[in-house]
Structure 1
């Protein structure tokens, strides 16, 4: 054991799936313990809770572990603002999932009457079951826990303790190069740690709601980037989602700081939210406001201030809002002349007002470096055609991979669709035959899998 090369021991640690494996590895001997410490906590996860920030502080103060942290993951979900009263809170308490009703199977609409009757019986049984079996005294106890946790989150933000904790931690992470900010389910599935920390409040953290004093994810991303700037951390990767488009409406002085913090990035992923209604049922209620703001070029200018990008992914959460309006135009994200000389991967989603010439020109400008191109829902202008555009992509850039998915449409002068195909996005299905056929066509040629006969309307 003692004769194994250090490189092999580090390789073994890199192969472990979780921290428990590394902890067991460290029990072998002192040499293994020292090497394992370098791999124990390379990616630090935290959220808006005092205990989570204390853990972050403890990791940052460890003389060995802190020296090997390379990324931070801020799980940004918080309670809605304002605090709910007891009656409203109680209406959200639903513990029926703890009552053993068995697996609720919803038959297909094409199933026979027997299957449909079975479904109705299950649903009726579920609806007759009390939402919970807690006394008023027990409910009051859990409501006080909810109040305490709500007030704790509010205090951490109102007094800038969140910024202070994160800044102090970053000072001790010399190898930190990446930050991830995720609310809802973007980039990361909600963690068990968050569920445990807030479970006694009996109230689900919905994310960062539309009526908070800070719009979705905006404060959390601002705090991460401001802390990086204060500690002179040269970030190489930022993944942020779901984050409100209103992040780009921060005041001018703040945006200067945000740009400075991102100056060294090589990877930037943004999933921009366009708002939701009060009940969280309808997305995109701010799509028209977002579109007006994006027309000013604020997002485009932000991206052009990051010259070393190798991986760029910018998408919005909806194709169009209640006013039948896309959140942004293609030209609001990628300008007519700018070039990222090292751009290797480009993914764009939920944009309109695009043309064949515009897309091909973007590819031509980056043909020396670009190896992956992705589209998730783009609408072409009148006089353009996906059937004309797709074969030309291979002629202007040598890609190693491509992903063309979502809604591919072309509109006429009245804004009505002339072409329309819906291809399953990656976040819906890991493998999709139509999407794979389209990627093969983009890379290798052959017969285009899209044609006028298999459009989604005819």
Structure 2
């Protein structure tokens, strides 16, 4: 909609049947200048990456803040690992290679010598393609653009521009009910991956190297929740994708503010990153071990227990890209179910939908959890590493399975 003139946007809006519309998504702040006669009952604001000025424009608008009920915030963070042009070029080469690969998929298993050798041979063939020599100029231009954006990103963090913008906006959105905070975590197939390496700057090499929020996600999520707590807003939905586990490892004052901001949530989706992407497998394992060791202290469980009105709960941990091929290693890398939720009582009496992924759990624990919430649960989804198909109790639907649940839990 950024390319549409105001007159055309105004004409499109004039076709709409306003009384029948309950919500829409505002993707361009220019809509606010079209006039109050075109404002809808609810306005959802989509914040484009690094567009804090647009966020402030909407927040300071004389009419729009009263209609904002949902904030969708997608953040792109540039990777700081490519210090020089040679590193940048290697990373872009790998991304091109993944985009052109016929079996576009994950990195080869480092312990599979044959797969690694096959990947190296294919990469050598890739480097001999005719178009290879004609893109060096574009590579250098892309690197300079990346360096400029990296500098701008550092200035933004140093001056806390994002903090101030988010805090002011959230404080002005008095009807705010829902916040979605996601990271860029895409698998872009084919030529589109090639374009993304230059036009959107390179975030990480390879197709399956997830770019997580890390500590910057913790920082920005804090700014949102602190503003919610300070404004006294009753937030109902919070969806967060790929936030570092250290979000739960903060000082008591920060955790108290976070708990207050989340106290009225009815819907929570949380995907937690356990370890930043490190090619060194030993260091990657160490990060996962530190996360699991911290979770054993019960911080995640206490955080979830402090939100008693939940009707929808999804908690997942990022998959281990290398270890997931080995059942024993995956079991050891996944957190325990008892470190996330209480199994001996009903914590959320209104819970209707429950999703837990990448946990280690026993069948009895699964049944205990369902048994204590069977009166309200309507939808369940579990992904446990060490539960086989033979272990599962037949659960086509909860109403028909409650007798089995009661029998299994009492036995």
User: What's the TM-score once normalised by structure 1's chain length?
Assistant: 0.65
Which sits farther off after the overlay, 196-205 or 247-256?
196-205
Aligned to 1:221: 221
Aligned to 2:340: 333
Question: Structure 1 pair 386/130, CA: closer, same or farther in 2 (3 Å)?
Answer: closer
Structure 1 position 298, deviation (Å): 0.6
Q: Which structure is higher in helix share?
A: 2
Question: Structure 1 pair 105/341, CA: closer, same or farther in 2 (3 Å)?
Answer: closer
Structure 1 position 350, deviation (Å): 1.2
Aligned to 2:304: 303
Structure 1 position 444, deviation (Å): 13
Q: Secondary structure of the equivalent of 2:172?
A: coil
Q: Deviations over 1:175-227 (max 9, x none)?
A: 211111111328x999xxxx9999557433679857x9x53732232222122
Which sits farther off after the overlay, 168-177 or 73-82?
73-82
Q: Output aligned runs, 1:403-422, within 5 Å.
A: none
Q: 1:346 and 2:357 equivalent?
A: no
Question: Structure 1 pair 286/393, CA: closer, same or farther in 2 (3 Å)?
Answer: farther
Number of aligned residue pairs: give it. 356
Q: Secondary structure of the equivalent of 2:355?
A: strand
Question: Structure 1 pair 123/285, CA: closer, same or farther in 2 (3 Å)?
Answer: same
RMSD: 4.4
Q: 1:71 and 2:79 equivalent?
A: no
Indicate conservation of the 8 Å contact 1:178/1:237, yes or no. yes
Structure 1 position 339, deviation (Å): 1.8
Q: Output aligned runs, 1:17-416, within 5 Å.
A: 34=36, 36-38=38-40, 41-47=43-49, 49=50, 52-81=51-80, 84-94=83-93, 124=125, 127-131=128-132, 133-134=134-135, 141-185=141-185, 199=198, 202-204=201-203, 214-215=214-215, 217-279=217-279, 286-318=287-319, 323-324=329-330, 325-335=332-342, 336-356=344-364, 358-380=365-387, 387=390, 389-391=392-394, 397-398=398-399
Q: 1:10 and 2:11 equivalent?
A: no
Indicate conservation of the 8 Å contact 1:218/1:247, yes or no. yes
Structure 2 segments unaligned to the other structure (5+ residues): 1-15, 105-120, 405-411
Tell me the distance in 2 between the aligned counterparts of 1:76 and 1:257. 23
Q: Secondary structure of the equivalent of 2:134?
A: coil
Question: Structure 1 pair 151/349, CA: closer, same or farther in 2 (3 Å)?
Answer: same
Q: Secondary structure of the equivalent of 1:38?
A: coil
Instruction: Give the structure with higher Rg (CA).
Output: 1
Indicate conservation of the 8 Å contact 1:44/1:69, yes or no. no
User: What's the TM-score once normalised by structure 2's chain length?
Assistant: 0.71
Structure 1 segments unaligned to the other structure (5+ residues): 1-6, 108-119, 400-441, 446-458
Tell me the distance in 1 between the aligned counterparts of 2:280 and 2:78. 13
Tell me the distance in 1 between the aligned counterparts of 2:295 and 2:95. 44
Aligned to 1:423: none
Structure 1 position 95, deviation (Å): 11
Question: Structure 1 pair 346/233, CA: closer, same or farther in 2 (3 Å)?
Answer: same
